[in-house]
Amino acid sequence: MAFFPCFLSVVFVVRNQADGLEGMLCEATEVIASMVSDYELIIVDNASSDDSVAQLKRLTAEDGVANLQVYALTKEVDLDTASWVGLENALGDYAVVLDPLADDIAFLPNMLEHAARGADVVFVCNTEHTPQPLLYRFAFKLFHRAYRWCNGIHLVKDAPQFRLLTKKVINFILQHPKPTMIYRHLPATGGFARTCLTYSAPPKAQPRKHLGESVDRGIRMLVSSTRAPMRLVTALSLFGAVMNLLYCAYVVGIALFKTDVAAGWISLSLQESGMFFLISLVLLVLGEYILNMASFSGDGPLYYIGQEFTSCRMTRLEKLNVEDAAPVISMARAWGGERAS
């Protein structure tokens, strides 16, 4: 097996898997230990209600599993947030996040190989999914359509949760004020060198997902990652305002050129369209301000410098400290020429 001289952090997010923990960690150790020069297994316990924490305590003892780092959360959070808890504290040059129930650790060497070849982000997509109820599948499709329309990526295919990130990607995410919200999509949308791999393995039994929670999370993800829906709202407001203004003109036209108009129609119509024009205008302005505020509060750094290099030669250093009359004149000419053009 290939050997990678690096420090690898592997983040496991677990919940109520007390029985499987030891086997899972031993398996992971077996895969990783001989492959990298140093590693750590970070276990984020997502507020298990069984005796997972006690098991983990036992496993960290002297005769337990080596290189464990455990973070036990007090309250259950979504998978992305829990993954981020581990990533934020990861020490490795590379960090891998996996959900032991859904993802296969045996695929790790493959991921490392791509990382060693220069990928900053390696995504791995399992083509097989746990079956979910019809309504969930429908909402799932709808969300991903909407997300793709807004952000240009399909979250499941382009930014799956089983992933390897280099330290620099983690550091970039850390610079954002709300890292947990952007953690899911930024590695894919941040412009880093990324590879997307697929494999097919039946996932282990996974708990049923709740539609209500998923909808809530989906809406938050949509709202936090894109301005498109809000822009749609402001565009509609603008449309409403313009249409009401046109309607006002229409009513005035009717009043001027028609005589058989029912009493009160003109004043009522003018009042209504005028009010709606004003309301639409107010909504438009408010919406734009909200958008602006959201961009201020949610935005991290706007750019990331992937690489930088400097020319070997510096002409400044090659210059002699000699006053020469001729070049000065030619320079003035060049400047003059520039100004003229």
Partner 1 sequence: MISNSAPCHEAIIIGGGFYGSAIAIHLARQRGFKRIVLLEREGGLLRRASYNNQARVHNGYHYPRSFTTAYRSRVNLPRFVADWPQAVKRDFTKLYAIARHNSKVTARQFERFCRDIGAQIRRADSAAHALFEPRLIEEVFQVQEYAFDATQLARWAVQELEACGVQVRLLTRATEIYQGADHTLQVVTDSEGGPQRLSCRYLFNCTYSGSNHLNGDFPGLDTDLRHEITEMALMQMPPALEGLGVTVMDGPFFSMMPFPSRDLHTLSHVRFTPHVQWDDDKSINPYDKLARHERSSRVERMVRDVGRYIPAILDSRHRDSLYEVKTVLAKNDRNDGRPILFEKHASLPGCYSVLGGKIDNIYEVLEKLDNEVF
Number of residues interacting with partner 1: please give it, by CB under 8 A: 8
- Under the binding rule (CB under 8 A), the answer on residue 45 touching partner 1 is no
**Which one among 6, 40, 160, 172 touches partner 1, defined by CB under 8 A?**
40
Whether 232 and 283 have beta carbons less than 8 Å apart is answered as no
Q: Which of 91, 156, 243, 255 binds partner 1 (CB under 8 A)?
A: 91
What single-letter amino acid sits at 195?
T
Taking CB under 8 A as the criterion, the residue among 38, 113, 272, 288 binding partner 1 is: 38
Q: At 308, list the tokens.
A: 């930088």
The answer to whether residue 252 forms part of the interface with partner 1 (CB under 8 A) is no
Query: For tokens 């390897």, what's the residue?
Result: 164
62 binds partner 1 (CB under 8 A): yes
Q: From the list 174, 261, 331, 334, which residue makes contact with partner 1 (rule: CB under 8 A)?
A: 174
SS3 75: coil
Pairing of strands 94-98, 163-166: antiparallel
Of 156, 136, 153, nearest in space to 188 by CA: 153
Distance (Å, whole) CA 104 – CA 97: 11
CB of 177 to partner 1, least distance (A): 9
Cβ 9 to partner 1, closest distance in Å?
10
Interaction between residue 7 and partner 1 (CB under 8 A): yes
Binding to partner 1, residues 200-239 (CB under 8 A): none
Q: Is 77 near partner 1 (CB under 8 A)?
A: no
Q: Per CB under 8 A, does 295 bind partner 1?
A: no
Q: Among residues 70 and 124, whose Cβ is nearest to partner 1?
A: 70
CB of 88 to partner 1, least distance (A): 8
Provide the sign of the torsion angle of the four alpha carbons 202, 143, 197, 71, taken in this order. Answer: negative
How far is it, in rounded angstroms, from Cα 123 to Cα 96? 10
- Kindly list the residues in this chain that would bind partner 1 in the complex (CB under 8 A): 7, 38, 40, 62, 69, 91, 174-175
